[in-house]
Structure 1
């Protein structure tokens, strides 16, 4: 992979990481500032449902943060864009669609097929 591509992905992943962290901080601020009293139980239930949904999103973001940091580590150690399964290069188009991926499209497809066979 060319240096300009690595620089692109490093910058992109760093920006994604910063955005996710800002969303997390914003969520914490919102939740700590909400001491509302609800007269209607339906309003309270709706609010709690919204909070639960937001927390699920932040949990998903937390997992993505780990993957982004790992991808940034692969950029630094020279293994970014190399399939962990077959050792071939992962296409730039696949990396643009999913920059944290560790598998080329062929190996990912094979993995998904095997997972489908194992499902009851």
Structure 2
């Protein structure tokens, strides 16, 4: 991977991290007091959805921070399963990718190793 490609991926990760962090800060996870049971149930359901989205957002932030750490440590772009280099096109499409296409396909099919 060239320095320009690394810089491009780093910029993409940093922008995504800022966006996700800003969203995490602005979301309010509160349930208001409601005299109506139906409204209260609706608010609880929405609260559950908000909590799930917040957890997913936090997980994504951690993945982005991890990818930025790997980018600095020079093991970014290497498949964690087979050790081969992950294609630049795949990394540009998904900078959080930790597996090459073959290993990712194998993992999705329930296999442990790529062929």
Q: Same fold (TM over 0.5)?
A: yes
Deviation of 1:69 after TM superposition, in Å, equals 1.1
- In the TM superposition, 1:89-104 aligns within 5 A as 89-104=85-100
> What TM-score, normalized to structure 1?
0.82
Partner Cα separation in structure 1 for residue 89 and residue 44 of structure 2: 40
Task: Please list every run of 5 or more consecutive structure 1 residues that lacks an aligned counterpart in the other structure.
Answer: 116-120
Provide the C-alpha distance between the structure 1 equivalents of 2:47 and 2:92, rounded to a whole number of angstroms.
31
Instruction: Mark the CA change 1:37 to 1:4 in structure 2 (over 3 Å): closer, same or farther.
Output: same
Structure 1: 4+ residue segments shifted above 6 A: none
Alignment partner, residue 23 of structure 1: 23
Q: Which runs of 5+ in 2 are unaligned?
A: none
What's the counterpart of residue 65 of structure 2?
A: 69
Per-residue deviation, 1:68: 0.9
RMSD over equivalenced CA pairs, Å:
1.9
- Deviations along 1:17-56, whole A, 9 cap, x unmatched? 11111111111xx335x6x332321111111111110110
* CA positional deviation for 1:93: 2.4
TM-score by length of 2: 0.85
